[in-house]
């Protein structure tokens, strides 16, 4: 794949992300007059609404966060000291950005759905959404080039490009497995939700840190 095609693919996903943000903002403008004074904003581990925000926040908070996040994630590749590596990643980074923005847009849609009598919409979107994020990240993990802001960042991956690449290649499939485990969580009994999410998150975090440390120690020992 040529550098030009990589850049074009990357721009496409950023443009699509911008469209999702724009649609969310327009939806907020249209829905604002119709929303109640209190809009659901938080769900507990049992999937029950236990927090609310005002109408203005309900209509525009998530779209505003999406806009700010998209701007930040678009700027990062331009200011990262390893910005040339972002260019060689092609669509990988932009696809992850797009997935995150779509996920947040889906949460926003679920929040609005809760206003109209579907309180379980957000839990049933959020849990599979997190699983899907892990699957996409894991699938492309081995293609994430060495940088300072995106990927598995431990003291040892940041200290060595070799550790970086080995860690990402090994952990990628495990992140996919973790995502597959979380996909059905939104449809399981409430008591399963937090243990599975916490368990998968802790195992992936400890696995990433532990493996990168062991690889780094081996490299230092061999050298």
Decide if 185 contacts 196 (C-beta within 8 A). yes
The Cα–Cα gap between 185 and 133 comes to 14
Tell me the percentage of the chain whose pLDDT exceeds 70.
96
The Cα–Cα gap between 147 and 162 comes to 12
What are the sequence ranges of the domains in the chain? 3-222
Give every CB contact of residue 49 below 8 A, 6+ residues apart in sequence.
40, 42, 43, 114, 119
The Cα–Cα gap between 175 and 118 comes to 31
Instruction: Summarize pLDDT for 179-211 with one digit per residue, the tens.
Output: 999 988 877 776 777 788 889 999 999 999 999
The Cα–Cα gap between 218 and 156 comes to 11
The Cα–Cα gap between 198 and 182 comes to 10
Q: What is the pLDDT of residue 207?
A: 95
Q: What is the pLDDT of residue 222?
A: 85
Instruction: Summarize pLDDT for 32-50 with one digit per residue, the tens.
Output: 999 999 999 888 877 778 8
> Binning pLDDT at 50, 70 and 90, where does residue 4 land?
low
42, with CB counted inside 10 A (0-12, 13-18, 19+), is: exposed
Rounded average pLDDT over 16-43: 94
Q: What is the pLDDT of residue 162?
A: 95
Which pTM was predicted? 0.86
**153 vs 121: which has the higher pLDDT:** 153
């Amino acid at each position: 794949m040529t550098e030009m095609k990589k850049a074009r693919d990357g721009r496409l996903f950023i443009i699509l992300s911008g469209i999702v943000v724009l649609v969310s903002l327009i939806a907020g403008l249209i829905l604002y007059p119709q929303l109640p004074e209190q809009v659901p904003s938080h769900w507990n581990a049992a999937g029950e609404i236990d927090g609310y925000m005002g109408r203005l926040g309900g209509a525009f908070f998530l779209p505003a966060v999406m806009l700010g996040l998209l701007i930040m994630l678009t700027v990062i590749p331009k200011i990262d000291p390893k910005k040339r590596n972002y260019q060689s990643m092609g669509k990988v980074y932009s696809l992850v950005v797009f997935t995150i923005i779509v996920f947040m847009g889906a949460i926003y849609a679920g929040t609005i759905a809760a206003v109209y009598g579907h309180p379980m919409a957000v839990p049933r979107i959020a849990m599979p959404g997190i699983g899907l994020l892990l699957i996409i990240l894991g699938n492309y993990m081995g293609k994430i080039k060495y940088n300072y802001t995106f990927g598995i960042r431990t003291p040892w991956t940041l200290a060595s490009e070799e550790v970086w690449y080995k860690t990402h290649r090994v952990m990628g499939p495990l992140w996919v497995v973790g995502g597959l485990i979380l996909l059905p969580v939104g449809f399981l009994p409430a008591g399963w939700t937090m243990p599975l999410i916490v368990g998968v998150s802790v195992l992936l975090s400890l696995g990433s840190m532990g493996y990168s440390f062991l690889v780094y120690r081996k490299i230092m020992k061999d050298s």
